[in-house]
Chain A
Amino acid sequence: MLKAENLRCVYTSGLIKTVKKTAVCGVDLEICPGETVAIVGESGCGKSTLAKMLVQQLEPTSGEVFFDGTKLTGMNWKNLRKFMGKIQLIPQNPDDVVDPRWTVERSVAEPFVICGGFSREEISANVAALFEEVGLSAEHRPRYPHELSGGELQRVVIARALTLKPELLVCDEATSMLDVSVQAFIVTMLKEIQKKRGLGLVFITHDLEAAKAVSDRVLVMYAGEIVEEGKDVFDRPLHPYTRALMDAVQYASLEVVLPEDVGPLPDGFSGCSYYKLCRERTEACKESQKLRNVSERLVRCWKAK
């Protein structure tokens, strides 16, 4: 359904002395209808940038995004409008997405109003149904965003994202601002909605447990690259980074063993991006690493078996 090819994003800053920072380099991704893909990785690894490029909120530096075979990248605003309802982003911070001066009901109804072609009765019936779908009662509808809790507000945001019958939801850390009990509730609800509507779901998170619980397939990202991709990644991690990530969660209080010369990679280094931090590195890791197919898994490490 959604297909991304060789997505790259380079942030450039400064006028005279330009500084370039590669946030995402060469990500290929395909999401099928009804599938849940989790993207995990540490902060700064390019997860959110990838999400923004998938929903076309950010123009990639190079690479293409296709939706049902239609190329979305480079499309002008007028044509892109037709696809907007189909792909929706649920961001991390729910109270940024609803206008503080509007009732939540009006915020949820906004996409109907913008698209036009709905009567007042239809809109209010649809909005009521959406509120019910995300488990909010009628008394929540006329309230303002500051009168709702974070979890309730996140549900409002989800209801809003569902208005235009999307086929793909991209949840960018959608639960990390919420407390643990609410997180579980939201995740379960998203799964239920997905099952009912047959949506594709991209679940970006740094919470490995949540990723494991919801996903059909996991993508592990490091330094803007996919280092490992496949099913049951957490049961049988093949890439050293995936193992380190799991250890970091499990033994958060223990000292993590790092190699001696930790620091930025030297200029022009074309080898494995995880070289400096890897505990299992060898001379061969200085060679450029490609994603290899190892027992139904894609791994960017020559050692993986």
Chain B
Amino acid sequence: MIEILKNRQIILSLIILGGLIFMAVFAGVLAPYDYKEKDLQNRQQPPSSDHLFGTDHLGRDILTMVMYGARASLFVGFAVVSVSLAIGVTLGVLAGYYGGWLDEIIMRLTDSFLAFPSMFLALAITAFLGQGMENMMLALIAVEWTVFARVARGSTLDVKTKGYVRASRWVGASNSYVMIKHVLPNIISPVLIMASIGIGNVILAAAGLSFLGFGVQPSTPEWGSMLNAGRTYFSTAPWLMFFPGLLIMMTVLAFNYFGDGLRDALDQKMKNLELEGRF
């Protein structure tokens, strides 16, 4: 754990992510205005000391909306990735561990999901289910779980040939015991790396879907829908799109950096292990 914190990439991304999460959680306290408060007199005000990020076409404070928007975006990111991870890892481990026809069924299912471009699939599902945050999340889960299933299966195939799996079977352990106690802990690091990068992707995809009008209701603040709303006024009031866009970029970058750094840190640990030698 301490070794991970020596990585500069991880520290930087953790600071940014910590700030974002803090902002999202305490939006109610930190935000200077109420996000529902419309001030039609002060529409499309450029950034000033009263409104640091300016106001939108209904006179709402952009800083306030961006803060509340972080709630929606981060929630979508974490929730979608956690559910996809649970589904994907379960199916991937089962497929890799048992092999045979179960592996064939699960992997062909994964392949059929992977065969479509992910954004297209998400769009098709939301179009079918209808607009709304829950439906958007369902669509994103349908896209995201395949990645975890693939990674988990690959790592499981490697782990299940290890001597400790056979040794523990040979003293009478059940398959589920081996999967939970030996396979899962040994495949979890690549899965966590995928998860941290996945959160960034999901936030981006969610913003994209909201931008296209498939995501959250326009009345709830969300970065993607804010971009969409600001689109019309881009030439006269660019700050409407600039700030939510900046936040999306920062969040996605931070998660990607975090995943990258995590991979480096864990790889490094493996390298050290090899260099130490055993004899």
Contacts and interface: CB of A to CB of B under 8 A. Distances in A.
Interface in A151-169: 153, 160, 163-164
Contacts of B177: 114
Nearest to B272: A146
B168 A57 contact: no
A150 B279 contact: yes
A97 B173 CA distance: 14
A107 B164 contact: yes
Contacts of B172: 81, 84-85, 111, 114-115
Interface string A114-134: 110000000000000000000
A153 to B, nearest CB: 7
A216 interface: no
A221 interface: no
B164 A99 contact: yes
Interface in B161-191: 162-164, 166-168, 170-173, 177, 182, 185-186
B278 A150 contact: yes
A146 B276 contact: yes
A89 B273 contact: no
Contacts of B166: 57
B100 to A, nearest CB: 15
A93 B161 CA distance: 13
Contact of B163 (A91, A111, A114, A178): A91
Contacts of A272: none
A149 to B, nearest CB: 6
Q: How large is the interface on A (under 10, 10 to 19, 20 to 34, 35 or more residues)?
A: 20 to 34
B171 A85 contact: yes
B273 A146 contact: yes
A305 interface: no
A95 interface: yes
Contact of B278 (A97, A111, A146): A146
B164 A97 contact: yes
Interface string A88-104: 11010101111111000
A179 B279 CA distance: 9
B162 A96 contact: yes
Contacts of A101: 185-186
B164 A96 contact: yes
Contacts of A85: 171-172
Interface in B237-277: 273, 276
A179 B277 CA distance: 14
Question: 7 tightest CB-CB pairs across the interface, nearest first?
Answer: A96-B163, A111-B171, A97-B163, A81-B172, A99-B164, A150-B279, A114-B173
27 contacts: A57-B166, A84-B170, A85-B171, A85-B172, A91-B163, A96-B163, A96-B164, A97-B167, A98-B164, A99-B164, A99-B182, A99-B185, A99-B186, A101-B185, A101-B186, A107-B164, A110-B168, A114-B173, A115-B171, A146-B273, A146-B278, A149-B278, A150-B279, A153-B278, A164-B171, A178-B279, A179-B279
